[in-house]
Amino acid sequence: MSIYILTLVLFALGLMSKPMLVTLPVTLLILDWWPLNRVKTSNDWKQLIVEKLPMFAMSAASAVITIIAQQKGGAVKTFEQFPLYARVENAVNAYASYIGKMILPKGLVVFYPHPGLSLSLKQIVPAIVVLLVLTTISVIFRKNKPGLLAGWLWYVITLVPVIGLFQVGGQAMADRYTYVPLIGIFIMIAYGIPGILKSLKPPMSYAPAILAIILILPLAALASYRQASVWHDSETLFRHAIRFTKSNYTAENNLGVILIERGKIDEAIQHFKTALAVKPDYVDAHVSLAVAFMNKDKLDLAMPHLETAIKLSPNDTDVLNNYGAALAMQGRLKEALGYFKAAVKADPENPDANENLKRAEQLLSEK
């Protein structure tokens, strides 16, 4: 009993640190089936499920809390923004793409923009074929090779919370989501290869191990080294994302912000314009482009973007703060003061908004 309680406590701590662990009760049931072989009859399933009911309850509570928090942060997307069929298409493509990137880790980027309705049959059909083939093989060999089905179920189920059916944010997928799910694919590989090798005699039975040592490990080490260099700084990170993805409005905007900090305002403006060409309602890019124009004292070009941002997101702290700053630059301090107050109300901890509010009040008091 003490071990059981400790397990529940550790699971609760895990959920608080990483809500993606909500699928753990199901993966534990998979492990009960194989390799623990705790399932003999249907009654065994009932007992095992009852055993994990506290975990299911904690998972449900964690899921509800996470959804509420994401909704308050504005990250949850509506079905108008991402229709159901677009989510399903992207989910199918993501399931297959994660496996592809595991085999050939090329083009890994910090942000993959959601394709919306732009996925073609050339992308969807191969993904469906891959998933159907792996599912079919796992089911057919479930009695003789149960580890294949156990690994496949692990992969599919643990990805469900982050596969995009419940869309949070604007990403299509994220490499960081796969560190737990890919354990399932590795189980399939580790369990499946030895079965294949049983029919081979030495030295052919040693071939996979020799191949891994001589070829795969050095290539993986080289790929890791090259991928680490991508994270040298923010500029290299977002330039890499732009290079390996299409219509990556987030990377374009973020790169532009970095370029402003480095004094490359003209280049930054081009990236902001590219971001808005892809996503005209992208509030961050409107604000960023306005800030770039403000840095060049082109308030006439900055104001339309700030006005658009205000319409799109009237309660956003950065939008309100920058709109107030633009008004202040025009000498309209009384109007600016109202926006600074609104910005502080929206986010009382925002240092820029608080500083601008304090300065505006000081300047008005001196008049």
262-315 pLDDT, tens digit each: 999 999 999 999 999 999 999 999 999 999 999 999 999 999 999 999 999 999
Q: Which residues contact 304 (CB under 8 A, 6 or more apart)?
A: none
Q: Kindly state the average pLDDT of the residues 50-69.
A: 96
* CATH entry, 234-366, from 1.10.10.10, 3.30.1280.10, 3.90.1010.10, 1.25.40.10: 1.25.40.10
The tokens describing 357, both together, are 């509010």
Taking alpha carbons only, the member of 63, 48, 82, 77 closest to residue 15 is 63
C-alpha distances out from residue 187 to 80, 123, 144, 169, 280, Å: 39, 27, 15, 30, 44
Domain boundaries along the sequence of the chain: 1-75, 77-199, 234-366
Span 310-320, pLDDT tens digits: 999 999 999 99
Alpha-carbon separation of residue 199 from 194, 195, 204 (angstroms) = 9, 8, 10
- Residue pLDDT, tens place only, 195-218: 767 766 777 777 777 877 888 889
Position 54 confidence tier, pLDDT thresholds 50, 70, 90: very high
How many other CB atoms sit within 10 Å of the CB of residue 82? Answer: 18
Query: What's this model's pTM, rounded to 2 decimal places?
Result: 0.91
The torsion defined by the Cα of 79, 84, 88 and 89, in degrees rounded to 10, comes to -90
**Residues paired with residue 173 on neighbouring β-strands, in sequence order:** 112
* pLDDT band, residue 194 (cuts 50/70/90): confident
Q: What is the mean pLDDT of residues 219-234?
A: 94
Residue with tokens 């643990």: 158
Residue 245's pLDDT band, with cuts at 50, 70 and 90, is: very high
What pLDDT shows up at residue 47? 95
Q: In the predicted model, what is the mean pLDDT of residues 65-78?
A: 88
**DSSP string over 252-321:** HHHHHHHHHHTT-HHHHHHHHHHHHHH-TT-HHHHHHHHHHHHHTT-HHHHHHHHHHHHHH-TT-HHHHH
Please answer whether residues 115 and 141 qualify as being in contact, where contact means their C-beta atoms are separated by less than 8 angstroms: no
Q: Given a cut of 70, is residue 367 above it in pLDDT?
A: no
Average pLDDT, the chain: 94
In this prediction, residue 25 carries a pLDDT of 97
